[in-house]
């Protein structure tokens, strides 16, 4: 039926042509035109038989965003207490203008020390400001033989204890603190020549520097150097410092020491 309709339509389009063309050429044209019309009619049907177009490809997946892990910076602020242990090495010197010997000259002191520490820190950015105090038992001691001393004896200087109260100023590189420290000192200066000592409590000053490191959130350890200078002491006891010609002794005793100390502290969070 469809082809009969197509040929009929082609015949109608060829009406009005000459008889000769209708007889000979018209047949060819009729077939060509019929074929074109048949192709045009069949095109939608052929198109309907084709598979549907595929879905467009998915857009490329965006790369995952990198989120760096933020490690919290250690906070040095807070109150702490601990224990320090160290070794001192210093000098002493005895002088007396009334003694014919004049002076002993400097002689060496050395010995161990140990004691408790208490302090606090305040941190702003990388800077750490604080204060620290300690009281140490001391075995720092030294002797010298000299014409200044009584015959058959040695002049001896020692310290049984000392205490410091210092400010600290430092810079923290996260869990490591570099600091300087300075402040006042108090301690005893003991002087004697025959095993008995005249002890005098003297004030002084101290200064130094150190490094402190964190091992746990609450536990730190440090190593520091301190220089400590106490005021001059007088030995006026005959039993401890002998006799001067014509009167009791009046010996001026100087005491200073350097110290290397190790410390461990517990900090309250």
Q: What is the pTM of this model?
A: 0.73
* CB-count burial class (<10 Å; 0-12, 13-18, 19+) for 109: buried
Look at the block and give the residue holding tokens 């060819």.
Answer: 28
Q: Give me the residues paired with residue 85 across strands.
A: 114, 262
pLDDT of residue 259: 98
CA within 13 Å, CB half, 261: 30
pLDDT of residue 59: 77
**Residuewise pLDDT in 10s, the chain (269 residues):** 544 554 555 455 444 444 444 444 555 555 555 555 555 555 555 445 556 666 677 777 767 777 776 557 899 999 999 999 999 999 999 998 877 778 999 999 999 999 999 999 999 999 999 999 999 999 999 999 988 887 788 999 999 999 999 999 999 999 999 999 999 999 999 999 878 899 999 999 999 999 999 999 999 999 999 999 999 999 888 888 877 776 788 899 999 999 999 999 999 97
Q: Which of 17, 87, 30 is nearest to 258 (CA)?
A: 87
Strands 219-235 and 127-144: unpaired
pLDDT of residue 184: 98
């Amino acid at each position: 039926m469809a082809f009969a309709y197509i040929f009929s339509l082609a015949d109608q389009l060829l009406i009005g042509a000459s008889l000769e063309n209708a007889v000979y050429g018209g047949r060819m044209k009729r077939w060509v035109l019929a074929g074109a019309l048949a192709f045009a009619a069949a095109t939608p049907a052929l198109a309907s038989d084709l598979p549907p177009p595929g879905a467009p490809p998915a857009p490329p997946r965006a790369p995952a965003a990198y989120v760096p892990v933020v490690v919290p910076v250690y906070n040095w602020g807070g109150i702490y207490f601990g224990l320090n242990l160290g070794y001192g090495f210093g000098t002493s010197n005895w002088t007396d203008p009334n003694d014919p010997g004049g002076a002993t000259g400097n002689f060496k002191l050395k010995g161990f020390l140990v004691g408790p520490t208490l302090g606090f820190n305040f941190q702003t950015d990388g800077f750490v400001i604080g204060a620290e105090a300690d009281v140490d038992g001391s075995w720092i001691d030294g002797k010298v033989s000299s014409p200044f001393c009584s015959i058959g004896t040695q002049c001896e200087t020692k310290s049984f204890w000392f205490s410091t109260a210092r400010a600290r100023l430092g810079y923290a590189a996260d869990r490591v603190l570099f600091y300087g420290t300075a402040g006042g000192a108090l301690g005893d200066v003991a002087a004697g020549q025959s095993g008995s000592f005249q002890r005098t409590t003297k004030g002084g000053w101290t200064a130094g520097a150190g490094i402190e490191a964190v091992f746990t959130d609450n536990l730190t350890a440090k190593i520091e150097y301190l220089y400590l200078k106490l005021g001059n002491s007088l030995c006026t006891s005959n039993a401890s410092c002998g006799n001067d010609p014509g009167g009791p002794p009046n010996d001026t005793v100087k005491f200073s020491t350097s110290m290397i100390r190790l410390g461990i502290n517990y900090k309250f969070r």
